[in-house]
A and B are shown apart, each in its own frame.
Chain A
Amino acid sequence: MRPNVGASDDERVIKLAVLAVGGQGGGVLADWITDVAERNGYIAQSTSVAGVAQRTGATIYYIEMARDTGRLPVFALSPSQGDVDILIAAELMEAGRAIIRGFVTPERTTLIASSHRIAAVSEKIEPGDGRASSQKVHATAEAAAKRFIAFDMEKIAAENGTMISASLLGALAGSDTLPFTRESYEQAIGAGGRGVKASLAAFGAAYDRARGIAAAPTGDKAIAKPAAPEARSTAKVSGPETLLKGWQELAARVGALPEPVRAMAERGLKKVVDYQDIAYGGEYLNRLDKAVALDSAEHGYVLSVAAAKHLANALCYDDMIRVADLKTRSTRDRRVRKEVGVKEGSVLQVTEYFHPRIEEFCGTLPVGIGSYIESRPKLAAFLDRRINRGRHIRTDSFTGFAMLWFIGGLRRWRRRLLRHKVEVEHLERWYELALAHAREDYALCTEILNCRRLIKGYSDTHARAQSKFDRVLSALPMLEGREDAADWIRRLREAALKDEKGDMLDGALKTVATLDDSPIL
């Protein structure tokens, strides 16, 4: 006698796994699903590796269920590769992990995933953009799953003031992969007893969304695509007549630029004028014109766009004045209130964290005095001992606010200050260096411009960024004349963005030094 291989529907075991990030409420979800199964005359078994010492890591919950026929099925305690009917991923990379682990198979697995991201520590600590590619996971999931239902379930949960477990359950119910009614899911939520209303709302919203996707033809598995960046800002500008007139003149100059450059130039111009004044905007466009003059339509104006972007960033260096100005604007106050969610009738208190050093102090002094102090290390150290200390400033109080407001007002004298001199000199060196290459190596010129991306941060971080920038460009003499010079500069820049100290960059620089001496032409 051969045991019943193709178990009849009555005896079939349904296998469901939940992959979540610790703290997402995966246990609640598993309890609900078990409850729903039992309400529908099923025997269910759920297991987990409990969240003890498992705070923020990836976790897995596993449920098996079979129709109750009066006999006890032998259930497994953990999911097996190629043997999972429903896989719920509470975050997109966890869906990716499920696929890697073999829990998603094209013949049988319905993959329900929330498309939102929770960045892992490794993704966050890169000085550049270390985030993993969501698209790759989406694309693989499409191929790996029998059905792939993905949308931002975290957003639905947040909108309804509850945890993602509720919207995940909604998506499961809406996917119709389990032979249970919507009502039985809602009863399970109701039996939980806490935050029932919010959970039911999120459940319902996700249910409808999943149903919509489930009903759509297979080719259109409706994945929330990231919104395309808006083509061109058409935001309103307001202010005194004279300034508006000046702005319109500058805007007209932007309008006269080649079409591909305009959008970035307008963004840049706005940033620069907002940072300083109309005249500064004029200087910005004058510099940009130099790049445009060397550029042509055959290259698609890539160089000019890079110049428009990085010139604006370079001109708007992060000094104390800028920080103080931004922190004292009415728009900032409104944004903080919105982000924090200050309700009517509550009072908001805001503390800012500053830690000025002698460098910042000197930078905010007129060129003469600033360099006088900087050239006298003893004096500088003496002053530093008085200045260099953390200062917590309350910008909801009048004195704290007024202090920052005053520093923000130094804007009108900025051109005479030491920091400005240093920054403009640096900018000129970089910009001229780049443009000098425009004729013989267009791509290299663009890549040198793009290196400006490396300069960011404040104090030590800023110094480290400057050093990376210098180190990348130090490779120029070795690369000039090579066909792949631009590629190498790009590679070096990308390496510099990988770690804090620039170890990857140093490695890459060593490789550059060993490149064949004779230029490949």
Chain B
Amino acid sequence: MAERSFAKEVEKLRLGAGEEFSGEGILAITKALLQCGVGYVGGYQGAPISHLMDVLADAQDILGELGVHFEASASEATATAMLAASVHYPIRGAATFKSTVGTNVASDALANLASGGVTGGALIIVGEDYGEGSSIMQERSHAFAMKSQVWLLDPRPNLPSIVKAVEDGFELSEASNTPVMLQVRIRCCHVHGRFIAKDNKRPPMSVADALSAPRRDTGRIVLPPASFLHEKEKVAKRWPAAVDFIRERKINEFFGSDHGSVGIVMQGGMYNSVVRALQRLGLAETYGETDVPLYVLNAVYPLVDDEFLAFCEGKQAVLVVEEGQPNYIEQAFAAMLHKAGRGTKLVGKEHLPMAGEYTGQVMLDGIGSFLRAYAPHLLPGEVRAPNKLGKGVDTADLINVVPGRPPGFCVGCPERPIFAATKLVEQELGKHHIASDIGCHLFSIMPPFELGATTMGYGLGPASASAFNSPDAKRRSISFVGDGGFWHNGLTSSIGNAVFNKNDGVIVIVDNFYSAATGGQDILSSRASNRTKSTKHPITEAVKGMGVRWLRHIDRTYDVGKMQATLREALTTDEKGPKVIVASSECMLNRQRREKPLVDKAIKAGERIVKPKFGVDEDICTGDHACMRLSGCPSLSVKSLDDPLRDDPVASIDQNCVGCGNCGEVADAAVLCPSFYRADVVHNPGRWDRFLESARRAAIGLLQRRRENRRLMFADA
């Protein structure tokens, strides 16, 4: 079950024509899909698209009622390949994933899908993230659209525009027989807004209908000679059809004055930031009314030559606001102006940075600089020549004070002890080459563990260590892969490859029962029962099936000693071939979400429940923080003692501790110190508990009094 439940919100998907929908961007996209009569939806989770997948999963009943098939695809390639259903059949289909990491995976399918073209509308909703929380910000979905010649929509970031883009996308896809990508940025996915709903539509042809009347057309299959024709068709038929559609349906928008000496062209997703910059420059009001002519590209690929040239008519200079690099749009526009022999000056990356997120400040500076250069008369005096410069306080000092706060393992995370054990093994056997993978376990590269040298892609951890397989090597490589990555790609690309090539390295599969980093979605090896999916397929069985001989399964990662011993064995055994350790314990975030309400209820109902929590004896802790260098748990922190004899803060465990056991295990395995204790509170103790407790306390009290009566007692000691 996913981390965030949309069970309540999905009811909004039932809204009918004329009713006002209010909610998040991802819900609006889902609603739009249903209004368009989509026949099937697939995708793979990953920010910012994770929650769209969660919405779809929680909406399965509603999808079912409409006859819409939904799949949580095995990978982005699977999701894109699924769109093959729209090749021969007039069924609208949608796939969604994170871009560009997902688009990279999907490329193979995307190329084939784009080659044959589609009959039913095929929409690929990509969440392209930039800036905060982004993983591959330096690549652009735009490049994929160009190389496969599929169309790319980048709507203005508000709910009505996004919903309209979904509708336009399907129609554009059908009008041009080409898949269409719809790009949404991370904040746009989670923007809270409103739009007026339409009725949901049942797909005119369902996947069941298609199955009962199969069709084929050799001309759509990607094999010569058809594929040669596909290329010609792309430029001769599909491209012009798309351009015509975009022009006629006015997909791109014009705002501001229709004359003026300068203008700004932008990707739709940039519109709000451009307007904000104009507002701050005194050139636009709250609702976006402005004197500056704006040309908003809700379709960024293909571009419409005559539309752009008409916009440039009579303008001295035009600024292209295009986030990301290379600046494909700017280059294309420059070529258009040049070929048309126009004198309009085209600028872009001269005033805006080539790389990096176009934040509010960047936009303000860039547009300000453009206008000062080409239209200073538009700017109010105080902007043109500001009286005071560099107002504000000096923060240079503060930069050295405020600590960085990158994301890390959660309280009680079962992956923490795996890396604590790895760090301890390295203390024994020396440093090893460690290959990391994508997933929560990648936090191992940060302090306090600082383990891991590379990350090469989802499920590719062990694959990325495959070169390190030498008979002369004194040490083996260690590679990590999560359960999510394992099922996505790792089973074949990493494990199968290691078996086939007789790789001698150690592979640790981190099994936390979910695709945890993307929000706790179920996967094949999840231990929970899932109403619509088949789960409980052990990773160990799959690994054995691939031909791995040396396999160890640790079913409680918190046993640091065992983890350490197993790693040591794997690194030193004479056995040849890959050494695979499957380390399994449930993601604590998900486990707490599942168990906590049940435990609270059981305690209220008077059941006997034992709740663990860890603590530190502050007078035994010496304040060396060795425990924290093997933990980094948010709930294990430092506190100052009110004791002038002590200089350094001591360890302290806060109320968020879930009693996972890592502190005690690490203190034990690393022979740290005896200051940790585990306190198990027995709620609603039984008679026997109470009897034992009173007998023990009486005897213990006797011993305590005996000693304490014979010594000095300091009231504050």
Contact = CB atoms under 8 A, between A and B. Distances in A.
A41 interface: no
Contacts of A58: 405
Nearest to B710: A240
A102 B399 CA distance: 12
Nearest to B636: A124
Given A238-B715, A267-B643, A4 B285 contact: yes
B275 A268 contact: no
A474 interface: no
Contacts of B679: 336, 339-340, 342, 348-350
Given A102-B361, A457-B673, A53 B440 contact: yes
B561 A328 contact: no
A107 B393 CA distance: 11
Interface in B666-712: 667-674, 676-685, 689-690, 693, 695-696, 699-701, 703-705, 707-712
A125 B625 contact: yes
A347 B291 contact: no
A74 B288 contact: yes
Contact of A347 (B158, B403, B681): B681
A383 interface: no
Contacts of B291: 1-3
B392 A105 contact: yes
Interface residues of B, number: 135
A119 B637 contact: yes
B411 to A, nearest CB: 8
Contact of A93 (B402, B408, B448): B402
A17 B320 CA distance: 29
Given A78-B360, A238-B713, A357 B47 contact: no
Given A136-B401, A351-B678, A55 B711 contact: no
Contacts, number: 407
Contact of A129 (B272, B403, B407, B647): B647
B376 interface: no
Given A57-B406, A229-B642, A329-B708, A3 B289 contact: yes
Contacts of B493: none
Given A3-B290, A78-B359, A83 B645 contact: no
Interface in A258-305: 263-264, 267-268, 270-271, 273-274, 278
B212 interface: no
B-side binding surface: helix, strand, loop or mixed? Answer: loop
B19 interface: no
The residue among A46, A47, A128 with the most chain B CB atoms within 10 A of its own CB is A47
A346 B682 contact: yes
B491 interface: no
A54 B271 CA distance: 27
Contacts of B282: 2-3, 5
A230 B189 CA distance: 53
Given A72-B158, A74-B288, A355-B671, A401 B361 contact: no
Interface stretch (B110-118, B190-198, B459-467, B473-481): B190-198
Interface in A80-119: 80-83, 93-94, 96-97, 99-100, 102, 105-107, 118-119
Interface in B625-641: 625-626, 628-629, 632, 634, 636-638
B432 interface: no
B517 interface: yes
A249 to B, nearest CB: 13
Given A52-B519, A77-B188, A326-B620, A352 B448 contact: no
A46 B286 CA distance: 17
A66 interface: yes
Contacts of B328: none
A409 interface: yes
A466 interface: no
Nearest to B616: A339
Contacts of A44: 192
A353 B690 contact: no
Given A72-B158, A77-B157, A124-B625, A351 B681 contact: no
A125 B408 CA distance: 14
A481 interface: no
Contacts of A230: 642
Contacts of A121: 408, 446-448, 628, 632
B253 interface: no
B406 A127 contact: no
A180 B397 CA distance: 37
Contacts of A175: none
Contact of A140 (B395, B668, B705): B395
Given A74-B286, A346-B685, A349-B680, A268 B406 contact: no
Nearest to B275: A74
11 contacts: A21-B405, A57-B408, A100-B398, A122-B403, A137-B398, A144-B392, A244-B712, A339-B615, A340-B613, A347-B693, A457-B626
Interface of A: 1-5, 7, 11-13, 21-23, 34, 44-50, 52-58, 60, 62, 66, 71-83, 93-94, 96-97, 99-100, 102, 105-107, 118-129, 131-133, 136-137, 140, 143-144, 158, 229-230, 233, 235-240, 243-244, 247, 263-264, 267-268, 270-271, 273-274, 278, 309, 312-313, 318, 322-323, 326-333, 336, 339-342, 345-355, 357, 390, 392, 395-398, 401-402, 405, 408-409, 453, 456-461, 465, 497, 500
Interface of B: 3, 47-48, 50-51, 131-133, 157-158, 185-193, 271-273, 275-276, 279-280, 282-291, 359-361, 364, 380, 391-393, 395, 397-399, 401-411, 440, 446-448, 517-519, 561, 589, 610, 613, 615, 617, 619-620, 622-626, 628-629, 632, 634, 636-638, 642-645, 647-649, 655, 664, 667-674, 676-685, 689-690, 693, 695-696, 699-701, 703-705, 707-717
